[in-house]
A = this chain, B = another copy of it.
């Protein structure tokens, strides 16, 4: 029989001690990690990039289908993804967590195990944070810090007319995965005897529950000698991110419907759910792939890359931001921010 320890038994200092015991520091720039009023870092001649994100239970995740370990991993990955989108290398994170009294020590350790795994996978040091109580649900707020050589940071604002528009991986799967999870949850609530059927949906469900930041592509672009002119990570959906790049760069863009990268399981599931796959790709969000622009001259370097797809081109601002089909018709895109309120 497994034993569970209530948080109250361990207390604040006990919990912090347990978490700290498993922390390894990997970056030379980490001078002092957890244990003081602040962490001390030494980026030397590098510039640093800083990004932060907060995830709330019931808004950003649903613990009925999101295992705590995956949640911890994802919370780190989405922040590292922002660092990747700056063309930087992640080095440190701080983690604030608020949780209810009903959590057991084991549950908190599951969450931190996911955080630890992500730190390992992205070579990041956990250097600080705060663990406090919540009267409502679980809240996770992470700040990620990265390093980049001066002049190497890639902003959203550098796209130029004639640049190629590229994305990594495939799009829309995380959104379809969420639809599947929501459906299985409804079915389970209607009939608790029912076992969720997720075998055939493993890829898209995995994309939702455990996305990866595309640090691999950041490193590969460097090896290929490509510095993107602009870059952003796809958290809200391709359409919205492309609008950000265009408005901040003062350009337009045309992306081609037939070039959009999609996974077969995502496409099948969209049909099954009676959803337009293009809408899922354009507005689904949460894929955490990278959207970036490169000079036309770099075409040969990426054209056969298995993880990069050229989906369109940058145009004059006056042409707007459009989705074009095979027949040569163009439809203007609309931004969709979140609609939480």
State the A residues within 8 Å of B (CB). Answer: 6-8, 11-13, 31-32, 35-45, 47-54, 56, 58-60, 82-83, 85-86, 88, 92, 94, 96-98, 101, 127-130, 132-137, 139, 141, 143-146, 148, 150, 153, 155-157, 231-233, 248, 335, 337-341
Q: Give the Cβ gap from A336 to chain B, nearest Cβ, in Å.
A: 10
Which of the listed residues A7, A51, A148 has the most CB atoms from chain B within 10 Å of its own CB? A51
Residue among A6, A32, A232 with the highest chain B CB neighbour number at 10 A: A32
* Interface contacts beyond A59-B133, A101-B340: sample of 5 additional A-B pairs, CB < 8 Å, sorted by A: A32-B155, A38-B50, A52-B94, A96-B141, A132-B340
- The reply to whether A129 and B59 form a contact with Cβ atoms under 8 Å apart is no
3 tightest CB-CB pairs across the interface, nearest first? A136-B136, A133-B340, A141-B141
Q: Is the CB of A94 within 8 A of B38?
A: no
Tell me whether A38 and B82 are in contact (CB under 8 A): yes
A-B contact pairs, 21 of them (CB 8 A): A11-B337, A12-B340, A36-B157, A37-B156, A37-B233, A38-B49, A38-B51, A40-B153, A40-B155, A41-B47, A50-B94, A50-B128, A53-B130, A54-B139, A56-B135, A58-B135, A59-B134, A132-B340, A133-B341, A136-B137, A143-B143
Nearest-CB distance from A46 to chain B (Å)? 9
Knowing A12-B337, A135-B56, A143-B94 are in contact, say whether A43-B43 is a contact too (CB < 8 A). yes
In the assembled complex, the CB of A128 is this many whole angstroms from the nearest CB of chain B, namely 6
Q: Is the CB of B52 within 8 A of A130?
A: yes
CB pair B98 A40 closer than 8 Å: no
Q: Indicate if the CB atoms of B13 and A337 lie closer than 8 Å.
A: yes
Whether A54 lies near B96 (C-beta < 8 A) is: yes
A49 — nearest CB in chain B belongs to which residue? B38
Of listed A7, A133, A143, A248, residue having the most chain B CB within 10 A: A143
Kindly state the separation between the CA atoms of A144 and B150 in the bound complex, as whole angstroms.
22
A101 to B338, CA, bound (A): 13
Partner pick for A48 among B37, B48, B130, B155, CB 8 A cutoff:
B48
* Residues in B neighbouring A155, C-beta threshold 8 A: 32, 36, 40
List the B side residues contacting A232 at CB < 8 Å.
37
A85 surroundings in chain B (CB, below 8 A): 37-38
Chain B neighbourhood of A148, CB < 8 A: 40
Within the complex, the shortest CB–CB distance from A266 to chain B, in Å, comes to 25
**Given A82-B37, A82-B38; A127-B11 close (CB under 8 Å):** no
Compute how far the CA of A31 lies from the CA of B48 in the bound complex, rounded to whole angstroms: 10
Contact indicator B47/A31 (Cβ below 8 Å): yes
Question: Once bound together, how far apart are the Cα atoms of A165 and B59, in whole Å?
Answer: 47
- Beta-carbon contact of B145 and A56 below 8 Å: no
A49 near B41 with CB under 8 A, answer: yes
Question: Nearest B residue to A157 by beta-carbon distance?
Answer: B36
Q: Looking at the complex, which one of B86, B132, B143, B157 makes contact with A60 (CB distance below 8 Å)?
A: B132
| Residue contact A50 to B7, C-beta cutoff 8 Å | no
Chain B residues with CB under 8 A of A133: 56, 59, 340-341
The CA of A341 and the CA of B88, in the complex, are separated in Å by 38
